[in-house]
């Protein structure tokens, strides 16, 4: 079907999912909205997260998307089930795929989850993991200082190293052997997180699994694009388009990225 996939996130973090979508589904067109002006969503009340998320969804619906990917973990925790009920198109979140990947990876059933305050306080990963396997022990930790680093494009260096080291201390003191990056911003810090966590801890980024789930749904619902046109990827940001463009080029390995600034309110 020649319609785009819509992707929403609180900021640039969802580009980690887009990167996998482009790699796994190179013919598909993607329309992405990053609510960079109001990022992060993690500390916000659930009512605000719901309102902001629906503003992005409603904007994408005007583009006749064939599928919605909620690439923000906080928004997934708050809105996913509601969106599935209300929308006539398939809706995919990032929590279930991330949980599945961690359950495949763990050898001692000790799984760690780091995310924003909103995601961790929702208990969404804990519920998802234990619903699938009630033998696992889940250690959850909010790391609120990580998203601001990513939104500023600080992925390495002394400041990033100090922030990530301090943030991970409590969870690395446990027996976890796999760590879910429960925020789509965090994979941009994945090399640093892996270095600090050490080889014994497998880092789980939900982007890979989410893209696989999207691919499988498109196939089973006969929504895959099978033509030969070159895909046109569209990016919208509510905040700085120049910072978004810089990070998008770096993460997506593209020479040119067109970012349009929009207002959702």
Q: Please count the CA atoms within 13 angstroms of the CA of 14 that sit on its side-chain side.
A: 31
Q: Which two tokens stand for residue 135?
A: 């033998």
Q: Which two tokens stand for residue 70?
A: 């909620």
**Does 72 participate in catalysis according to the annotation?**
yes
**Does 205 participate in catalysis according to the annotation?**
no
Burial class of residue 199, CB neighbours in 10 A (0-12, 13-18, 19+): exposed
CB 119 within 8 A of CB 78: no
- From 39, 143, 161, 183, the catalytic residue: 183
- From 72, 143, 161, 205, the catalytic residue: 72
SS3 of the chain: the string is: CCCCEEEEECCCCCHHHHHHHHHHCCCCCEEEEECCCCCCCCCCCHHHHHHHHHHHHHHHHCCCCCEEEECCHHHHHHHHHHHHHHCCCCEECCHHHHHHHHHHHCCCCEEEEEECHHHHHHCHHHHHHHHHCCCCEEEEEECCCHHHHHHCCCCCCHHHHHHHHHHHHHHHCCCCCEEEECCCCHHHHHHHHHHHHCCCCEEECHHHHHHHHHHHHHHHCCCCCCCCCCCCCEEEECCCHHHHHHHHHHHHCCCCCCEEECCCC
Cα separation, 115 vs 130, in Å, equals 18
- Residues designated catalytic: 72, 183
């Amino acid at each position: 079907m020649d319609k785009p996939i819509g992707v929403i996130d609180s900021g640039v973090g969802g580009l980690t999912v887009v990167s996998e979508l482009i790699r796994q589904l190179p013919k598909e067109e993607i329309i992405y909205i990053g609510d960079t002006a109001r990022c992060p969503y993690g500390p916000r009340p659930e009512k605000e997260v719901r309102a902001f998320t629906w503003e992005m969804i409603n904007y994408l619906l005007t583009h006749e998307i064939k599928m919605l990917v909620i690439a923000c973990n906080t928004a997934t925790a708050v809105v996913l089930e509601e969106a599935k009920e209300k929308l006539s198109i398939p809706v995919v979140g990032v929590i279930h795929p991330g949980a599945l990947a961690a359950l495949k990876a763990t050898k001692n059933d000790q799984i760690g989850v780091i995310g924003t305050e909103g995601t961790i306080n929702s208990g969404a990963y804990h519920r998802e993991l234990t619903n699938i396997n009630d033998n696992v022990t889940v250690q959850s930790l909010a790391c609120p200082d990580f998203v601001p680093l990513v939104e500023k494009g600080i992925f390495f260096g002394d400041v990033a190293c100090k922030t990530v080291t301090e943030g991970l201390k409590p969870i690395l003191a446990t027996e976890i052997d796999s760590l879910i990056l429960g925020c789509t911003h965090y994979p941009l810090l994945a090399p640093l997180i892996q270095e600090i966590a050490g080889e014994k801890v497998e880092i789980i980024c939900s982007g890979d699994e989410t893209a696989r789930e999207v691919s499988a749904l498109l196939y089973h619902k006969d929504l895959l694009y099978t033509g030969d046109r070159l895909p046109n990827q569209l990016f919208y940001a509510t905040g700085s388009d120049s910072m978004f463009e810089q990070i998008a080029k770096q993460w997506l390995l593209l020479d040119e990225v067109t970012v349009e600034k929009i207002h959702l309110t």
